Every structure is written in structure tokens, then in C-alpha cells.
């Protein structure tokens, strides 16, 4: 029987409708009806697991928050958000205290609305990555001790391929990737994978348009130089410690520093005292126990200018059994509580390339939309580090350094290069949408529209 027989055509139709029916079933299963303590909302939510490696039993947890019905979610782009660490949860940070529609009340039981939620502009997809972070898991214990950049990118790509099959309505939709901190590695690495695997494909399923990163770990050498300079110029460390850091750390790996560099970093930490390095002008939470950690791009603790203890509320809320049931989460009965960051994943991180600059060059040449933003009160991945890393790209300037405005007040500064836009947000710490939600919303809107910041 030939390839074009009616029987063969019927088989293809049955396969197609069977796949569609299966994806609809999966969507119905993943639909969130209502989260405990949630106010009434006009948008749909989905969450659940996508298997990315059957042999190892690796499955990643996602939370999709669509745009409100009155804003036409079917015509809006899809944005994947990744938090870094490595080892930190995008549900804990991106969704619950930065760009998502909900904030958690201090009792850890109820939610309230974020007026500057980014789902007003786009459909948001939060991914807990890699396995071992948040609700994402692996059935192979050694997986958690061997994770690194490459496997994280490959698993995230496998997630996307399978997720788009589950949500076919998002196929061919404009798609962007965004994130912050160590996601300064994840975002360009995943972007590169998507871009390269789309080559030669007309009308690709993953219609990738560009990426957006904030306070991003980018290039170890320039990040170190810029970070130590920020500490010194902001009076956080002594002259002698600044010199010591420049000698012992400048040419090493930020993820795997030398013993001498670690010793110098420890001295710097003591000199800085009881501050929140992620937001140097806001008070830390009363307990500084979780604040004392190495300053190497990990961020197991975050601050909120008006409530620096917000992470604690997440750990209470997402560990409630009824919350996990509503999220279709922890279906395998993970042996440990949900945490904002995984110490195991972060401590045993394997490969970590020294620089993302070569990937930037490749994706800039491809004509993708690339924006980098930076909160200027962050001492962990400070604005000086980002400026040195961008300078290393040696891009021609289109529009020189200038202020941008929000209601007549300076919201920050920006510079437009050929192939990249850089924006600072004044008074914002490491998590820009947490400290300056309105200004971060304006940056995101300009990015999606491909328009310069208002001058």
C-alpha cells in the first residue's frame, strides 16, 4: 500500500487527533482551579511536571500563569523565567516575590495581588531548574551531585520541547527567555540551544525572539573586577582587602574559586558587616544566619526593602500539603521539604564556563533582541560588573548613556548598542522587580515592544 493511500492518511489523522486529545487531557490535569488563600483573578494557571530524562527519572516542575482574559492572552507572547543560584527556585523568587501576580502574606497562608505583575503583558512560564530545585526531582540521587551548566541547559530544552507538545496553543507564538543572577548563564545558554536547533526550520515551534537578563553573572574576570571595585568605591571594604582580592581572585572561576580567593572573600565579608549585600541600603532580616554565605553568585536569601523576611513566607506557604495538592506538586513524596534554594545543587555544581561573552556574540550576530538590566544597589552582581562585561563585547554605540524617566523622575540610565540594550534601575537591588516593581515593569514593557526607554 503506497504512502499516500487513504488508509495512511486516516492513520495520520488519528495520530494527530490522538496527540491533540492527549495534550488537552494533560492541560486539564495541570489546570489550577484555585490556590489556598488566593484572591479572585481573571486569568488561568497551570502547573505540574514534565519529564526531561526518563532513564534518570528527572522531571521539572513548572507554573504557567497566563495573561488576564481581558488582556487577550491568546495574542500575547510567552516568557520563560529562570532564577539562578545555581540551585534557587523561580517559583520562590521570580513568581512569588518579583514578577508573578501573587505575593505571600507574613502568615504564610494567604496571597495578595501584585499590581505590577508581568503577566499583564505576557504569559509567564516559571521553571524550577535543574532537578533538585524546588519541586523538581530526580530518581537518581547522584544527579543532584553532578549537575552543571550544560546538563541544565539540555534539560531545560527538553522541557520546552515536551511542554510545547502539552500546550500546542503556544506553538509558533513569540517566545522570550528571561532571568537573573546565575541565570545570566542559564538564559544565554538555553537561548543558544533553541537558536541553533531552530536553524533551517521554517516557522519553528519554539518561535524564539530574544532574551532579557537582570544583574546577571556574565564573565568571571570582568564580574570580579567590577564587583571588587563596587565594594571598594561604596566603602564596603578596606584598601588592603581590595588589593588582595584583585591579586587572588581576578583570573579565577567565580563558581570554583581558589583557596586564596576564598580567604580574601571571607575577609571582605567580615569588613562589610551585617548588611544585605543584595541590597546594600535596606535593612536585613532580623536573623542574619542565612545571610552569611559566600558571595559567589549564589543567593539563598533575598531581601525586600519594606519586608526583608519575605523568603520565610514562601517556605511556609509552599510546604503546606493543601498548597502542594493545588499545584499538583510533590507527587512522588520528596524526602525533603520544599526550599527556596538547594544547598546540595549549589554546593556540588559541576561545569561553569568562565564567560558567556562568546554566546552573546553569536546571538547578537543572529539579530535576536537582547536586553540587560541592572539594579544599582546590588553588591553581589553589581552594575559595575555588568558594565565591564558588556564593554568586553566591544559593540558600537547607537545611543549614548542617558537617563530614562518615569513620571518625570529618573528611573535609571540606559545605553543602546548595536545588538544589545543596557538599562539600569536606580535604587534597585539584586532582584530589581522586588525593590522597584513599577520601574521593572516599565523595562519589561519596553523590551517586549522593542522600544527605547522613555527619555
Active site residues: 181, 378, 430
Cell of 67: 495573561
* Helix (H/G/I), strand (E/B), else coil: 192: helix
How far is the C-alpha of 186 from the C-alpha of 181, rounded, in Å? 9
Nearest to 83 by CA among 209, 177, 175, 224: 177
Contact 62, 26 (CB under 8 A): no
Asked if residue 202 lies in contact with residue 362, where contact means CB atoms within 8 angstroms, the answer is no
Beta bridge partners of 420: 417
Query: Using an 8 Å Cβ cutoff, are 401 and 410 in contact?
Result: no
Other beta carbons less than 10 A from residue 9's beta carbon: 11
Is residue 5 classed exposed, middle or buried when 0-12, 13-18 and 19+ CB atoms within 10 A define those classes? exposed
Backbone angles phi, psi at 77, to 5 degrees: -70, 170
Burial code of 317-351, b = ≥16 C-beta within 10 A, e = fewer?
Answer: bbeeeebbebbbbbeeeeeeebbbbbebbbebbee
Instruction: Give the other-Cβ count within 10 Å of 167's Cβ.
Output: 18
Distance from the Cα of residue 270 to its chain's centroid: 29
Taken as a whole, the chain contains a residue count of 455
With residues binned 3-state (H G I as helix, E B as strand, rest as coil), the percentages for the chain, rounded to 5, are 40, 20, 40
Peptide bond into 130 cis (omega under 30): yes
Query: Residue 359, Cα to own-chain centre: how many angstroms?
Result: 18
Residue 416 pairs with which residues in a beta bridge? 399, 421
Neighbours of 395 (CB within 10 A): 18
| 85, 153, 254, 428 from 144: Cα distances, Å | 14, 15, 20, 33
Q: Are 205 and 164 in contact (CB under 8 A)?
A: yes
Separation CA 422–CA 220 (nearest Å): 19
Amino acid at each position: 500500500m503506497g504512502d499516500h493511500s487513504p488508509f495512511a492518511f486516516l492513520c495520520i489523522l488519528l495520530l494527530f487527533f490522538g496527540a491533540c486529545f492527549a495534550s488537552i487531557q494533560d492541560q486539564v490535569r495541570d489546570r489550577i482551579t484555585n490556590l489556598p488563600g488566593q484572591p479572585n483573578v481573571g486569568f488561568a494557571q497551570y502547573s505540574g511536571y514534565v519529564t526531561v530524562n526518563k532513564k534518570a527519572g528527572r522531571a521539572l516542575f513548572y507554573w504557567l500563569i497566563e495573561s488576564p482574559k481581558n488582556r487577550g492572552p491568546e495574542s500575547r507572547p510567552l516568557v520563560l523565567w529562570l532564577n539562578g543560584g545555581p540551585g534557587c527556585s523561580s517559583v520562590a523568587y521570580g513568581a512569588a516575590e518579583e514578577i508573578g501576580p501573587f505575593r505571600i502574606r507574613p502568615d504564610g497562608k494567604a496571597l495578595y495581588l501584585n499590581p505590577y505583575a508581568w503577566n499583564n503583558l505576557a504569559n509567564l512560564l516559571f521553571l524550577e531548574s535543574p532537578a533538585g530545585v524546588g519541586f523538581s526531582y530526580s530518581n537518581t540521587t547522584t544527579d543532584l551531585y553532578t549537575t552543571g551548566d550544560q546538563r541544565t541547559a539540555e534539560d531545560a530544552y527538553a522541557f520546552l520541547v515536551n511542554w510545547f507538545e502539552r500546550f500546542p496553543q503556544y506553538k509558533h507564538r513569540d517566545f522570550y527567555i528571561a532571568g537573573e543572577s546565575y541565570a545570566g548563564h542559564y538564559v544565554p545558554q538555553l537561548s543558544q540551544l533553541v537558536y541553533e536547533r531552530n536553524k533551517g526550520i521554517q516557522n519553528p515551534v519554539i518561535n524564539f525572539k530574544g532574551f532579557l537578563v537582570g544583574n546577571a553573572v556574565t564573565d568571571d574576570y570582568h564580574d570580579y573586577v567590577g564587583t571588587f571595585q563596587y565594594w571598594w568605591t561604596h566603602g564596603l571594604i578596606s584598601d588592603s582587602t581590595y588589593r588582595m582580592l584583585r591579586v587572588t581572585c581576578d583570573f579565577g572561576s567565580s563558581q570554583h574559586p581558589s583557596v586564596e580567593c576564598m580567604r580574601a572573600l571571607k575577609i571582605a565579608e567580615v569588613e562589610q558587616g551585617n548588611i544585605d549585600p543584595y541590597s546594600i541600603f535596606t535593612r536585613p532580616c532580623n536573623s542574619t544566619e542565612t545571610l552569611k554565605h559566600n558571595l559567589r553568585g549564589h543567593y539563598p536569601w533575598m531581601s525586600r526593602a519594606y519586608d526583608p523576611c519575605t523568603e520565610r513566607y514562601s517556605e511556609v506557604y509552599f510546604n503546606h500539603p493543601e498548597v502542594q495538592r493545588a499545584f499538583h506538586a510533590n507527587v512522588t513524596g520528596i524526602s525533603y521539604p520544599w526550599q527556596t534554594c538547594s544547598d546540595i545543587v549549589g554546593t556540588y555544581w559541576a561545569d561553569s564556563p568562565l564567560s558567556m561573552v562568546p554566546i552573546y556574540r553569536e546571538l547578537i550576530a543572529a539579530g535576536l533582541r537582547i536586553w540587560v538590566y541592572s539594579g544599582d544597589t546590588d553588591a553581589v552582581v553589581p552594575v559595575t560588573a555588568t558594565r565591564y562585561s558588556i564593554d568586553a563585547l566591544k559593540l558600537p554605540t547607537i545611543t549614548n548613556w542617558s537617563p530614562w524617566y518615569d513620571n518625570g523622575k529618573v528611573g535609571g540610565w540606559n545605553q543602546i548598542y548595536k545588538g544589545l540594550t543596557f538599562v539600569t534601575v536606580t535604587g534597585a537591588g539584586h532582584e530589581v522587580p522586588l525593590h522597584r516593581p513599577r520601574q521593572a515593569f516599565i523595562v519589561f514593557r519596553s523590551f517586549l515592544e522593542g522600544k527605547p526607554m522613555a527619555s
